[in-house]
Amino acid sequence: MGSTIVDVGQLRAFLAVAEELHFGRAAERLHMAQPPLSRIIKQLEAELGTRLLDRNTRSVKLTSSGQALLAPANEVLEALRRAEEAVRSADNGEAGLVRIAFAGVSTHQLVARLARQVRSHRPGIQLELSSQNFALPAMKKLVQGETDIALGRWDVIPTEVSSRVVMQDSLVVALPDTHHLAGARRLSIAQLAGDSFISLTPHEGAVLPDRLRRLAHANGFIPDVVQVAPDTQTALALVSAEVGCHLTLASVAANATDPHVVFVPLEDATADVDVYLRAAWRRHDNNPALKAVLDEVISLDEAASA
């Protein structure tokens, strides 16, 4: 038995006649002449091997086969409508998948706000979130095509990557609440020349260990790093335990909850120690959903700056 080939045009023609029960009105509805419509229905009946309509000069009625075809025909056209809508949504950046790699505690608040905003404004876009301890792995994932947006801080941006500042930030020092400078409104790194420091791992591309070294050098001392922590949460736990102080970010302070850790702004934070959070993406990535999510990221930054 050969396979039956029924096209969408035939189903549309059948449904128009089935709903109007009049070939003339159905032809007007389909913006076509009546004879071609009659031929389409006859072709459909031939394909299916059954009569779908009983028709004479006075009336048109559905046969039992025609009645049986109504629901499947409507389902096919509805599925096609959904498919066309999905394609249009993807083309317009209203649907799709966007992968985001973000680094560190300082990005958590922004990522949470972004996820809420995308869910509210772009419900057809799915975000796949990947947390990294440091910014460099996030950038590597971006360059290798394993993520679409990287959020982090980098001193060097690869040529194939575009970036934009999406959150202002500043340097602060995390101190145990028992430290003699814990009540200061601001302090200079020089005031901590005799203190012990907790540093993050000084791997390639690590911004904060570099800033600690540069600021200390500018103030004539080498920081006494007594403990290297694998991540910010561990570093703050060590501060709370009075192991030492830790150079970190105001955005980290905004997410911290330990009552035994105090954050004091650093007055040495000049332009040459940029710690602003950036969004980075591949320069020639034309994914419309990516552009839509970047628009949401930018709108968050503009709202925060207003």
Range of the domain at 123: 95-168+276-305
3 found inside a domain? no
Residue 225: per-residue pLDDT: 96
Q: How far apart are CA 289 and CA 238, in angstroms?
A: 41
Same domain, yes or no: 187 and 211: yes
C-alpha angle 235/143/136, rounded to 5°? 15
Residue 1: per-residue pLDDT: 41
Residues of the chain with pLDDT under 70: 1-4, 85-93, 204-205, 269-274, 302-306
Give the number of domains in the chain: 3
81 found inside a domain? yes
Q: How far apart are CA 189 and CA 288, in angstroms?
A: 45
Q: How far apart are CA 34 and CA 26, in angstroms?
A: 8
Tokens of 160: 């194939």
Same domain, yes or no: 120 and 181: no
Q: How far apart are CA 263 and CA 249, in angstroms?
A: 9
Q: Domain boundary residue among 39, 56, 91? A: 91
CA distances to 30, 248, 252 from 237, in Å: 72, 13, 13
Same domain, yes or no: 162 and 293: yes
Question: Could you give the count of Cα atoms lying within 13 Å of 208 in the half-sphere of its Cβ?
Answer: 32
Same domain, yes or no: 105 and 39: no
Between strands 53-55 and 171-176, the pairing is unpaired
Q: Domain boundary residue among 31, 58, 91? A: 91
Residue 77: per-residue pLDDT: 84
- Say if CB 93 and CB 87 are below 8 A apart: no
34 Cβ contact partners less than 8 Å away, ≥ 6 residues apart: 23, 24, 27
Same domain, yes or no: 149 and 67: no
Q: What is the CATH number of the domain that holds 134?
A: 3.40.190.10
C-alpha angle 198/200/206, rounded to 5°? 140
Residue 143: per-residue pLDDT: 94
Same domain, yes or no: 177 and 193: yes
Length of the chain: 306
- Say if CB 263 and CB 250 are below 8 A apart: yes
- Say if CB 208 and CB 302 are below 8 A apart: no
Q: Domain boundary residue among 30, 64, 91? A: 91
Same domain, yes or no: 220 and 238: yes
Q: What is the CATH number of the domain that holds 58?
A: 1.10.10.10
181 found inside a domain? yes
233 found inside a domain? yes
Residue 272: per-residue pLDDT: 43
180 found inside a domain? yes
Q: How far apart are CA 263 and CA 241, in angstroms?
A: 15
Same domain, yes or no: 112 and 206: no
Tens of pLDDT, residue by residue over 116-145, are 988 888 888 889 999 887 788 899 999 999
Same domain, yes or no: 153 and 297: yes
CB atoms within 10 A of CB 144: 8
1 found inside a domain? no
Tens of pLDDT, residue by residue over 195-216, are 999 999 887 667 889 889 989 9
Q: How far apart are CA 139 and CA 158, in angstroms?
A: 9
